[in-house]
Structures are given as C-alpha cells and as structure tokens.
C-alpha cells in the first residue's frame, strides 16, 4: 500500500505582541494565470464538483473546505488563507501532498488564555475578537502540482469530488485541504525539534498541551535536550480535556490477545480477510489442537469428526491448503474461533479463499507463539480482552497520542496525531483512504477547543444564513453534517444562482448523502427540504 505524506512545514512567521459568529475563511489564490488554481485544462464535473476546468475544480474544492472549517469555528475576524499549487517533494512511490502553517504568531494579546505564549494568527484573532494584523493573510498553504506524474506517486492523481467517494489509487484533494488548513488553524507546534528550542524564546499554545510519557514531563517543562529525545521517543500525548473526553467516542477500544489456564501472557496476532473480525465478544475459550485424522492431522485440510471442537478455539498449523478452508473445516466441527500457527517468524494477515466461506473469527500467531499455545493444550485458554481506558491511538491513560516516530520527520513529527489511530484521523501525517473530511473531523475540533477556539454551537444554515436547517454545524465526535449542508448550499448558489433548477439539482445529491449517512433525522427532514429549495 502506498502511504503518502502530508507535510506541514512552518511558514516564516512575523511577530507582534499584543462572543463570536461563525468564521469566514477566504482562500487567496496565489497561482499565476494559467497554472495551478488557474489551470484552464478542460475537466468533466466529478463527485458533486461542477467545475469545468482543472483550475475551477480546484478552486471549488478549496472554497468548499474553507466553508466547512468556517461553519465549524467561530471568529469575528476574517481568516485569509493563501493557496497555491507548486512543486513539492516527490518520488515515484511517495509524495508530499501539501504543506501549510500560520504566517504570524502573537503573544500577550487581549484575552490571551496563556501569558508569554505564542498563538498562530487565526487563533489569536479569534480569541482577541479583532484582526491583530489587518494587512496580513493569516495562513499559507501549498499543494503538490506534480502529483500522479511518473516521478511523483506515479498514477495517483488528485480527486476533486466533494462526495468522499475517492476512486482507488487517487488522492482526495478536499481531505488534504482540510488537513492543511487544519495546521494553519494552529494544529502545529513552533519548537525547533532537532534542537528542542522554543520559537523566539517563548512556548506556544499547541506545545503547552503536549506531555511525554517517557519522562513524565510536559513538553514545556522539559530541557531542550529532553525535548530532542522526546520528539523521537514515541511517548507524546495530548493533555487537553476536550480531546480526552472524546477519545472514547472517536477511537476504537484497545484490545489484546491474552492466554490463560496453563499458559500466560499476551500475544501479537494477525487478522483475516474472511470471517467475523475477532472481538472480545466472539473470541474466547479453551484451545484444542486440530486433528483431522489425515497424514498431516494438524494442517486441518480434511474434515474433522462432527463436534470434535464444539465450543472451543481450534489451533491449526499453516500449510497445505488455504487459510479459509482450515477455518471452514474447523467451523464445521464446532469450533467457535480459529488460531493459525505460522510456520515461520512473525504474524500474517490472511487472505480469503473464493471456494469456501468461513464465518467464525480467525487470527494468526507466530510459529514461536503457536508452539507455546500448543504446548499448553489441554488446559490453555485464549481471549481478546479490552485494555481498560486505552484506545487505538491513545496512551494507557486514554490520552490521544501524537506522532513521534523514532526517526525525526521534519514537518510531520509532533504536529500530528499518531498513525496508530483507528479509525484513521484527519490530522495523522498520512492521507488515509478511509477519511472523509466532508463529514467527519474526528478529534480535531476538540483539540481546537483545547487551544482556545470556540466551536459554532448553532445549526448549519442555507441562503446566506437566513434558513436554519436544524442540523448541528458540528457535533461531539467531530461530525459536521450541518457544516456540509451549509458548504454545499454556498457552492451550488455560487455556481448556479439561488432559486434556479441548476441550484436544486446541484444541492440534491448532498442532501441525499446526508440522509443516507444518518445526518437528517425525520424531525429535521422538512426543514432541510425547505432550506434547499430556494
Ligand atoms: Zn500535516
């Protein structure tokens, strides 16, 4: 699988010392005529994006993202985001998709929650309630103009649709714009990671919520040398209360494979593409070694006697036939789950076999762990168990982990969520195929609340704020159905004009999608219909 990198290089910063409405975010087109956001190459409308040139599709998607964030956040100061397509680092198999950051930082401005602490321009303005540097744009953002070319993640082109329906192998531009604007809205720290030094002598607000589990110190209280070590130590986590509260709602519970009875310990495991996913609810019991009576009885490639493994978890050796055949034959003999013991080091992720269908959960363990489990039979048990207060992408205290790989990734380390999050998060350093930032921003709005942003408490609106759809702009857990409807209305109105047939046919697929995804309860259906007819 190609993993693609979203970098967030810090832009050069300028310095200054020094109850809101939904934010207005204005893209500032920095490309010269004829290129990037102004590319005149004809294009076919795609995924709800009605643009008819490449440049127009890019501008529409960018504006859509700006309107989504604008509907989620509150600010009395307009946020201006410079945007351009330009050449970014590439190879045939990887690419920097985009980069972004704040263009100014401020400290000790009116209402600043933390003294002597840097805030990015957009956030500082929102907190201050006024534009602290009216002549300056707040954020800059860049997007890779060569994506998909032979030397730049070959064949993986941008997808400009607004429907989250990215074809396999393409890269969703709107998700990347949401991610990059996200950095500019202050999802970034300002320390120099390879020296540990704070930016211009002061800590920054993002870094003030970072904690290192390896030293049990906050980022700000560490020495420069400790920060250099922590940046690659894998122990960084976010301490803010809003994120902490929402981790259990957004991330999957952490489970581990634990043996009991005659065996003890936890074991690494691989998963299967067939059968039910293994969970604490469906995967536990006494282990039994498969014996199908053949010359190689533990391969389990022949039928076993009826009921031979009734109510038990069958252990079977890898080899001689497909994994799913082994699972199906164990299932036929009464097993409730299957452990495949590998015939080499490591665990394997097992593909399905089209000739049979197994429904019970199946996992793999390494050859060495398989030997330990088999030696404990009879009397060994196995189970998936929830790890208390721990989630996929959290530390053992339930705090969201931040990206701190063992090799410093300049522009990615520190200023992202950890890649272990399940489901994948918008602000992980890699663009994941299961993201859909048109509807789900996971923990990022909560992180913004920790930083000092106010979220829009109202509903998504249409017709320039005159029609209340009844759908909350942003909900706990980062769901943004109302913001989506508001952005779709603005886009369709802009392209087709209000009250036109073109407007109604433009906005209808967005409404349908929101209905299908459960964002429009029956009680709000009439309001949504009325608000999207005008
Ligand atoms: Zn990033």
Q: Could you tell me the distance, in angstroms and rounded to a whole number, from the CA of residue 484 to the centre of ligand 1?
A: 22
Q: Could you tell me the distance, in angstroms and rounded to a whole number, from the CA of residue 181 to the centre of ligand 1?
A: 9
Q: Could you tell me the distance, in angstroms and rounded to a whole number, from the CA of residue 487 to the centre of ligand 1?
A: 23
Q: How far apart are CA 23 and CA 216, in angstroms?
A: 37
Q: Could you tell me the distance, in angstroms and rounded to a whole number, from the CA of residue 198 to the centre of ligand 1?
A: 20
User: What dihedral angle (degrees, nearest 10) is formed by the CA atoms of 328, 329, 332, 336?
Assistant: -70
Q: How far apart are CA 442 and CA 448, in angstroms?
A: 12
Q: How far apart are CA 205 and CA 406, in angstroms?
A: 24
pLDDT of residue 93: 86
Q: How far apart are CA 81 and CA 89, in angstroms?
A: 22
Portions of the chain given CATH number 3.50.30.30: 253-388
Q: Could you tell me the distance, in angstroms and rounded to a whole number, from the CA of residue 99 to the centre of ligand 1?
A: 7
Q: Could you tell me the distance, in angstroms and rounded to a whole number, from the CA of residue 411 to the centre of ligand 1?
A: 7
pLDDT of residue 418: 97
Q: How far apart are CA 68 and CA 336, in angstroms?
A: 46
Give yes or no for a contact between 484 and 516, defined as CB atoms under 8 angstroms apart. Answer: no
Task: Kindly state the tokens that stand for 193.
Answer: 């990671």
The single residue listed with the structure tokens 């010359």 is 295
- Three-state DSSP string of 51-102: CCEHHHHHHHHHHHHHHHHHHHEECCCCEEEEEEEECCCECCCCEECEEEEE
pLDDT of residue 9: 43
Q: How far apart are CA 374 and CA 384, in angstroms?
A: 18
Give yes or no for a contact between 81 and 28, defined as CB atoms under 8 angstroms apart. Answer: yes
Q: Which of 68, 143, 134 is nearest to 104 (CA)?
A: 134
Q: Could you tell me the distance, in angstroms and rounded to a whole number, from the CA of residue 172 to the centre of ligand 1?
A: 14
pLDDT of residue 20: 52
Q: How far apart are CA 274 and CA 200, in angstroms?
A: 55
pLDDT of residue 534: 74
Class of domain 253-388: alpha beta
Report residue 98: phi and psi, to 5°.
-160, 170
pLDDT of residue 21: 73
Q: How far apart are CA 467 and CA 209, in angstroms?
A: 38
Q: Which of 255, 375, 384, 386 is nearest to 315 (CA)?
A: 375
State which residues of the chain have pLDDT below 50: 1-19
Q: Could you tell me the distance, in angstroms and rounded to a whole number, from the CA of residue 502 to the centre of ligand 1?
A: 36
Q: Cis omega (within 30 of 0) on the bond before 27? A: no
pLDDT of residue 16: 35
Q: Could you tell me the distance, in angstroms and rounded to a whole number, from the CA of residue 344 to the centre of ligand 1?
A: 37
- Binning the chain into helix, strand and coil, the percentages to the nearest 5 are 25, 25, 50
Q: How far apart are CA 506 and CA 49, in angstroms?
A: 9
pLDDT in tens, 74-107: 999 999 999 999 999 999 888 999 999 999 999 9
Give yes or no for a contact between 85 and 35, defined as CB atoms under 8 angstroms apart. Answer: yes
Helix (H) or strand (E) holding 17: strand 14-17
pLDDT in tens, 168-187: 999 999 999 999 999 999 99
pLDDT of residue 259: 95
Q: How far apart are CA 517 and CA 508, in angstroms?
A: 14
């Amino acid at each position: 699988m190609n993993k693609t990198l979203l970098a967030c290089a810090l832009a050069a910063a300028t310095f200054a010392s020094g109850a809101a409405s939904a934010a207005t975010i204005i893209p500032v087109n920095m490309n010269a005529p004829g290129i990037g956001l102004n590319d005149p190459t004809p294009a076919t409308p795609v995924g709800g994006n009605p643009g008819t040139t490449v440049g127009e599709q890019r501008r529409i998607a960018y504006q859509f993202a700006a309107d989504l964030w604008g509907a989620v956040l509150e600010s009395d100061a307009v946020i201006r985001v410079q945007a351009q397509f330009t050449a970014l680092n590439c190879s045939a198999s990887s690419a920097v998709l985009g980069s972004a950051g704040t263009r100014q930082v401020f400290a000790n401005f009116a209402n600043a929650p933390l003294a002597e602490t840097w805030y990015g321009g957009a956030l500082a303005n929102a907190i201050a309630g006024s534009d602290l540097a009216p002549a300056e744009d707040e954020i800059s953002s860049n997007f890779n103009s060569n994506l998909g070319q032979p030397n730049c993640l070959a064949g993986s082109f941008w997808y400009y649709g607004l429907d989250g329906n990215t074809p396999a192998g393409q890269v969703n531009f709107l998700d990347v714009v949401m991610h990059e604007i996200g950095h500019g809205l202050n999802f970034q720290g300002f320390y120099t990671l390879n020296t540990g030094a704070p930016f211009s002598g002061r800590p920054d607000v993002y870094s003030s919520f970072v904690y290192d589990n390896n030293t049990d110190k906050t980022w700000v209280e560490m020495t420069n040398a400790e920060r250099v070590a922590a940046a690659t130590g894998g122990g960084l986590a976010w301490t803010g209360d809003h994120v902490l509260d929402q981790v259990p709602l957004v991330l999957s519970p952490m489970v581990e494979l634990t043996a009991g009875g005659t065996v003890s310990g936890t074991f690494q495991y691989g998963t299967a593409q067939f059968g039910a996913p293994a969970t604490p609810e469906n995967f536990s019991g006494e282990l039994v070694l498969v014996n199908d009576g053949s010359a190689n009885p533990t391969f389990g490639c022949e039928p076993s006697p009826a009921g031979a493994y009734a109510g038990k978890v069958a252990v079977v050796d890898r080899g001689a036939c497909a994994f799913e055949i082994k699972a199906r034959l164990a299932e036929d003999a009464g097993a409730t789950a299957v452990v495949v013991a590998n015939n080499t080091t490591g665990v394997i992720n097992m593909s399905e076999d089209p000739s049979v269908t197994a429904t019970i959960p199946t996992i793999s363990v390494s050859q060495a762990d398989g030997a330990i489990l088999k030696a404990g039979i009879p009397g060994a048990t196995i189970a998936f168990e929830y790890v208390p207060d721990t989630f996929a992408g959290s530390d053992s205290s339930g705090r969201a982990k931040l990206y701190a790989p063992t090799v410093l990734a300049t522009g990615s380390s520190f200023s992202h969520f950890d890649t272990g999050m399940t489901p994948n998060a918008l602000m992980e350093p890699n663009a994941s195929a299961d993201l859909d930032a048109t509807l789900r921003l996971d923990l990022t709005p909560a992180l913004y609340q920790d930083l000092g942003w106010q979220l829009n408490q109202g509903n998504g609106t249409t017709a320039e704020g005159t029609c209340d759809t009844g759908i909350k702009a942003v909900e706990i857990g980062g769901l943004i159905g109302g913001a989506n409807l508001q952005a779709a209305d603005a886009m369709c109105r802009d392209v087709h004009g209000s009250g036109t047939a073109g407007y109604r046919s433009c906005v209808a697929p967005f409404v349908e999608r929101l209905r299908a995804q459960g964002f429009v309860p029956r009680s709000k259906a009439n309001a949504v219909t009325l608000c999207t007819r005008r």
